[in-house]
Amino acid sequence: MAVSPLVPHASSVAASSSNAGNKFENDSGTNSPNKTKRSSSPQRMKNPDREITEQLNDDVRHKYIKDKKLGEGTYAVVFLGHLRTDPSSFVAIKKIKVNAEYKDGLSMDAIREVKYLQELSHPNIIALHDVFSSKDQNLNLVLEYLPRGDLEMLIRDSNIHYGAADVKAWMGMLARGVWFCHENYILHRDIKPNNLLVAADGEVKLADFGLARSFADPYLNMTHQVITRWYRPPELLFGARQYSGAVDVWSMGMVFAELLLRVPFVAGNSDLDQISKICEAFGTPTEENWPGVTRLPNYIPADPNHIVPLQGRDFFLRQFPTAGPVGADLLMSMCTLDPRKRGTACQILQHGWWLAEPKPTKKQDLPRKVGGTKKMGDDLTRRGGELDDTSFKNAARQLDFGAARD
Amino acid sequence: MPPARDIMAHRGDDDEVCPVCKSSRYLNPDMRFLINPECYHKMCESCVDRIFSSGPANCPVAGCHKTLRKNRFRKQTFEDINVEREVDIRRRVMQILNRREEEFDSKRAYDDFLEQREEIIANLVHGTDVAKTESDLQRYAADNMRSIRANQALEAQEASSFREQQTHEQELARLRREAARLEYENERKEMLAGREDVLSRLAAGRPGDAAAIAREGHKVLLKKSSARRSEEDRIRQKQAALRNSDARKAGQGALTTADRADESGDSGLIKGLKKIKTPEPEKPYDPFGGLIPNKRDYYTLRDHYPNSYLDPIRQDTRMQAGGYDLQEYYSRTLMEAFAGLGCFIDEEVSKREVTSTMGISRPVATEGAALAAVSSAGAPEASS
Amino acid sequence: MIEDEIYRSSSQFRLWSFTEASLKQLRATTNSVASDRVRAALRRAQDARRSATSSTTGTPAPGSDAENKAAEDKQIECLTPEEEQQVVDYYSEQIIQLGENYKPPLPTIVRATAIQYLRRFYLTNSPMTYHPKQIMPCALFLATKTDNYYLSLRQFAEGVPGQTSADDIIAPEFLVMQSLRFTFDVRHPFRGLEGGIMELRAISQGQGQPAPHFQPSQTPEDLRRALLSLSPSSATASTMNDRISRAHHSTREILKAAAQITDAYFLYTPAQIWLSAFLLADRPLAEFYLDTKLGGPIISSSNHDQNPLYALRTKLLTTLANCSALLQAYKPFASDEARMKTLKRIVGKKLYHCQNPEKANIAGQKRIPAAAAAAAAAAAGESGTSESEMERLAKKRKLERGSETTKDLFGGELVTQRTKERQMEGDQQQ
């Protein structure tokens, strides 16, 4: 699988460069808009006037054919594409728009997404097959094609019925993906239902690495302005600059709760509101239950007249009866206020819930929804951390891309 | 087996005389003849008792040196000893070659199998190629022990369920008869009661109504009996349907056990057997999806490492409260200390340069090979 | 070993690891392609100049063309792959220096990433095509972005000496990213060194955990005793703790310079690199540490047929020795006068003459090819480049034209008659 592509290509370039005299002839061939002119002979008619790197890029670009547009956002356009050699092998091509306002080169979202996806290869993480540039220096990410929408769609669709076994299957796939990221010392920092895309076979894949970063180094400040508000853990709301994989685990817990309730569990309309809703739901953070919390940069002292005690197992079981006692216990460990007491992704996967009844549904038997293609288009064009909760916005998109549904 | 053949030649009149002790049925009307499937030489019961009671012994017939055991002697079923022998052979072969039609790819393959089986039986009966045929048969029996047993069990199950079904049907017939009798009696009782009713009404009523009363009484009886009949029909149909579905279920069950039992596929002897995939036993759910958590080969991770550079963090409550976890740092530094220590680039990279002549930046599913053949000379606009 | 499998999935191993032979071949190819094209480009430039003069004067000079061409080919002396290497090494060192210009100085890891970007870039590009002084600041700025060390471009530009503008720095970014094949992750040996040192310290305090395969037979106390019985590396070493600290420091220095400015990253894995450097810093200590992982010579030689670790150990020791030799051979330009002299000759004279004139203006060339700009003016939209941006770039190019004549020690702007060439360039591209 691993191939260092530079050497063999370079030699083919060298070979073609010797016939520099044919330059103009080749030029006209390259510029011809007539696609049928593409020679079927294995002999490469390279333009010697292109740099080696450009040729390497062209080789990648020519592996794929862009079909229709699946969606467009401010940040990117997503196309359905396929391999030139195999029209049945679909890919999603995410073309990142040049941001005219950002003068510092390629945006951080794009850099992060490309950097981390290039290193991660796991069944529960969206695969980045290739990256190439198209004309006008547009960056194109060739991503795994995930036609069955996202978890948000399934949660919101009241026509879809699912049960504890399905939730377990989805959470299992999510937890594996997150664990693998953390094993590679990468934080995702934007876990939420609409970043969890569903593949044709039902596999859930973690997507959108625009806010990801590597972690674990001491004394390095990280930004607390990450993770979409409803899924953001209390330590980030309190402005912590040194944090850990626990931030993603909290988001996982929120997704878990949302899957069970079919509405977002703690949905604040501002960061402050989010904190108070968290306190309301899980208990007020204090020095006793979370040592050091008062020293966090943006800590807001709790109203002494309104201290909610830390919620115990009973609360979780009462709130989430479908999870069962073991599931409620797992949810509680994900939603622990103090990040050091929260379970790690590995501990989450070691929990007894996965082996308890009911067994997780097999991925091919999970409830599904048609028309997820458009949704993938929308999901991939969103900018990291954006909240996508206004339904009329979706309706507008639907009008735009209704024709693109397959 | 050859000795049996000459014996067969001179049977007939001496049927009534024991070939061993020469006593005849004439003198001993209770005399019973027994045979042993080892050689099929016939002898009287008292000879068997006399010769074989003290253990296995040679057959007393001149020239036959088979060792016989008393418990194998039995009564002859068929008058013709040849038929007797063939039936025995057939039974034995069929017990081994007990493949079922559903195990074959096609009807044709099954027919070929039946023909082959007949040929084997014929060989054994007529003594052609006996040694080879026997050894083939034994090898097959050894190789396919499990499927033979499974099919035997199936046959036994089928036989017993057939018997059950028969008794069940007999029972049903009996119940039906009983029901019909009861029905007839009820009907008669009602008729009698009706008639009495009419009579009493006639006795009580005016003379002009007589005809109307009689007609009415008759109608009521008719209605009752037809209603009863249709109700009984409905119940009967329902029962029949239930029986059928039970039988179907049993059949399906049988099929799956046969499937399960046979994983050898084509055995050497029999061709055209279905390749049966035994369904993979369902693995228990693995939350880690096949990866092993915290597995490390070069080192054992500790929860604490002395490092004065990190000491301030250990005291910094703010960093702690944010969740910063030194354990993650230990884990990462040690992983990076050893990740790739045993990757020898000079070896591994030169290997991959040999295996692939074209550059593919990253594996995309399985199309790598196909892609390598692609000519990429084309219009740069082609993809947009 | 599971750690090795994890490394094999990295882009560094998949795309940026080479054998010595393949590395050499690749550089030779890059060099020959670039040389051909420099010659062709210079010839075209000259032709264009000539035709320009002849069209203005109106007196064509037939017959003299061929002679001129032959004469010029002789003049154009291109860099050899080895000379290109010298240039890239020099600018790799410059990145370390450039990092010092900031307050606080840029983190070692950012600089190291930038150096590797630069070295990866020049595997498929030649300094004759793109001058390293243009690429170097861009590589460093890109590294600040990919390594989470945020600086605005303006802040960054302030640290770059000379008249380099923010636009000049960012102009080649896309080109650099494309040459990096859009892989931004560089696996460094620094963090691994920290891990090894921490483990050694744990061992010295009797807290060392033996490797999983030695688990039952070794105890932390065995390890500690073995460590303390090592022969001292030098007379001055007072305690084991000091010795480890010293070895730590010198290893880090080797990793910061020698490991960066040689081909170590292409030829070896980070784990091999830090251990090789460690061997140079304190051989007995490093050997002891390796033995705790792979068994000492006594353990392994006794029954090496059954012991897979023995084979690994043997192979690894050879590899580490080679890597150590590579690191040890490194000498910075500053301490090597002869090398510096050669470099000045290469960069100052030779590279000046064989710089590809058509590639000198990266910003103008890539963002808006002349023809595309013309097409966009006719049918706006499609290309996705906004009007305002085009205006911005047009302005910028005007400014550049104004500063064309300035030259500095390492090359400067070579190109004359830029307008003409840009026109040609546009013709070729579209």
Residue C37 sits in the same domain as residue C111: yes
Q: Terminal CA-to-CA distance of chain B, rounded, Å?
A: 85
Residue C382, pLDDT score = 38
Cβ burial of B80 (10 Å; 0-12, 13-18, 19+) is exposed
Residue C425 lies in a domain: no
Residue C372 lies in a domain: no
Facing residue for B361 by CB, picked from A60, A180, A247? A60
Q: Cβ–Cβ contacts within 10 Å for residue C239, how many?
A: 10
Residue C159 sits in the same domain as residue C92: yes
Residue C167 sits in the same domain as residue C205: no
Please give the Cα distance from C425 to C45 (Å, whole number). 11
Q: Given phi > 0 = left and psi -120 to 50 = alpha, else beta, which region is C412?
A: left
CB contact under 8 A, C3 and B349: no
Confidence band of C161 (pLDDT split at 50, 70, 90): confident
CB contact under 8 A, C15 and B330: no
Residues of C whose CB is below 8 A from B340: 3-4, 7-8, 10, 13, 187, 269-272
Domain positions in chain A are 53-142, 149-368
Res C402 pLDDT > 70: no
* C346-390 per-position pLDDT tens digit: 887 778 778 887 776 665 544 433 333 334 444 443 333 444 444
Residue C170 sits in the same domain as residue C215: no
Res A217 pLDDT > 80: yes
- Token pair 């910075």 in the structure block, residue: C332
Closest CA to A217 of B343, B336, C225: B336
Residues of C whose CB is below 8 A from A48: 37
What CATH number is associated with residue C342? 1.10.472.10
- Whether the CB of C192 is below 8 Å from some CB of chain B: the reply is yes
Please give the Cα distance from A358 to A361 (Å, whole number). 8
**Beta-bridge mates of residue B35:** B74
Cβ burial of B282 (10 Å; 0-12, 13-18, 19+) is exposed
Res C147 pLDDT > 90: yes
Res A238 pLDDT > 80: yes
- Whether the CB of C24 is below 8 Å from some CB of chain B: the reply is no
Q: Which residues make Cβ contacts (< 8 Å) with residue A384, sequence separation at least 6?
A: A109, A189, A190, A208, A210, A211, A226
Residue C198 sits in the same domain as residue C96: no
- Run of H or E residues at C297: helix C297-302
Domain positions in chain B are 147-255, 311-383
Residue C132 sits in the same domain as residue C168: yes
Q: Point out the least confidently predicted range of A362-371, B87-96, C19-28.
A: A362-371
Are B42 and B19 in contact by the 8 Å Cβ rule? The answer is yes
Residue C323 sits in the same domain as residue C354: no
Please give the Cα distance from B92 to B95 (Å, whole number). 5
Residue B254, pLDDT score = 42
CB contact under 8 A, B349 and C19: yes
Residue A176, pLDDT score = 96
Token reading at A357: 């009844």
Token reading at C208: 């060392």
Question: Which range in B103-112, C63-72, C151-160, C305-314 is most confidently predicted, on average pLDDT?
Answer: C151-160
- Whether the CB of B380 is below 8 Å from some CB of chain C: the reply is no
- A210 to chain C, closest Cα gap in Å: 12
Architecture field, domain A149-368 = Orthogonal Bundle (1.10)
- What is the number of structural domains in chain C? 2
Residue A75 marked ligand-binding:
yes
Torsions phi, psi for A130 (to 5 deg): -160, 165
Residue A37 marked ligand-binding:
no
Please give the Cα distance from C252 to C238 (Å, whole number). 21
Residue A77 marked ligand-binding:
yes
Residues of B whose CB is below 8 A from A235: 321-323
Chain A adjacent subunits, 3+ CB pairs under 8 A = B, C
Coil, helix or strand for A34? coil
Rounded to the nearest 10 degrees, how much is the dihedral formed by the CA atoms of C263, C266, C267, C270?
100
Residue A376, pLDDT score = 76
Residue A324 marked ligand-binding:
no
Residue B42, pLDDT score = 84
Residue B241, pLDDT score = 57
* B289-314 per-position pLDDT tens digit: 888 888 888 999 999 999 999 999 99
- Look at the alpha carbons of B7, B11, B15, B21 in this order and tell me if their dihedral is positive or negative: negative
Over residues C70-98, mean pLDDT: 83
Residue A347, pLDDT score = 96
Confidence band of B34 (pLDDT split at 50, 70, 90): confident
Closest CA to A324 of A364, A351, A344, A349: A351
Coil, helix or strand for C266? helix
Residue C233, pLDDT score = 61
Residue A81, pLDDT score = 92
Question: Which range in A17-21, B154-158, B339-343, C414-418 is most confidently predicted, on average pLDDT?
Answer: B339-343
Please give the Cα distance from B286 to B298 (Å, whole number). 25
Beta strands in chain B (DSSP E): 33-35, 43-44, 57-58, 67-68, 74-75
- A281 to chain B, closest Cα gap in Å: 20
Are A266 and A230 in contact by the 8 Å Cβ rule? The answer is yes
Torsions phi, psi for C214 (to 5 deg): -110, 15
Give the residue, B61 or A198, on which the prediction is more confident. Answer: A198
Residue C157 sits in the same domain as residue C207: no
Res C101 pLDDT > 50: yes
CB contact under 8 A, C270 and B299: no
Cite the active site residues of A. 190
* A142-184 per-position pLDDT tens digit: 999 998 889 999 999 888 899 999 999 999 999 999 999 999 9
Residue B359, pLDDT score = 41
Residue C299, pLDDT score = 52
Closest CA to A252 of A328, A173, A171: A171
Residue C212 sits in the same domain as residue C339: no
Facing residue for A133 by CB, picked from C29, C141, C174? C174
Residue A343 marked ligand-binding:
no
* A112-143 per-position pLDDT tens digit: 999 999 999 999 999 999 999 887 778 999 99
Closest CA to A377 of A209, A124, A197: A197
> Whole domain around residue C27: which residue ranges?
15-45+77-185+335-361
CB contact under 8 A, B378 and A35: yes
Are C77 and C351 in contact by the 8 Å Cβ rule? The answer is no
* A62-95 per-position pLDDT tens digit: 899 998 888 887 788 999 999 999 888 899 999 9
Confidence band of B217 (pLDDT split at 50, 70, 90): low
Q: Which residues make Cβ contacts (< 8 Å) with residue C182, sequence separation at least 6?
A: A114, A118, A131, A132, A139
**For chain B, what is the radius of gyration of the CA atoms?**
43
Exposure string over A85-117, b if 16+ CB within 10 A, otherwise e? beeebbbbbbbbbbeeeeebbbbbbbbbbbbbb
Over residues A218-225, mean pLDDT: 92
Residue C410 lies in a domain: no
Angle, vertex CA B111, rays to CA B105 and CA B112, nearest 5:
85
Token reading at B303: 């929860």
Residue C384 lies in a domain: no
Residue C156 sits in the same domain as residue C84: yes
Q: Point out the least confidently predicted range of A80-89, A308-317, B93-102, C384-393.
A: C384-393
- Whether the CB of A338 is below 8 Å from some CB of chain B: the reply is yes
Residue C248 sits in the same domain as residue C315: yes
Are B21 and B45 in contact by the 8 Å Cβ rule? The answer is no
Tell me which chain A residue has its CA closest to the CA of residue C11.
A119
What CATH number is associated with residue C318? 1.10.472
Residue C263 sits in the same domain as residue C253: yes
For an interface test with B, give the residue of C14, C198, C268 to mutate (most B CBs within 10 A).
Answer: C198
Torsions phi, psi for A331 (to 5 deg): -60, -40
Residue B106, pLDDT score = 82
* Preceding omega of A358 cis (within 30 degrees of 0): yes
* B345-371 per-position pLDDT tens digit: 988 887 776 554 334 333 333 232 222
* B164-205 per-position pLDDT tens digit: 888 888 988 898 889 889 988 988 898 888 888 878 877 776
Which CATH superfamily groups domain A53-142?
Phosphorylase Kinase; domain 1 (3.30.200.20)
Coil, helix or strand for A356? coil
Token reading at A62: 């020519």
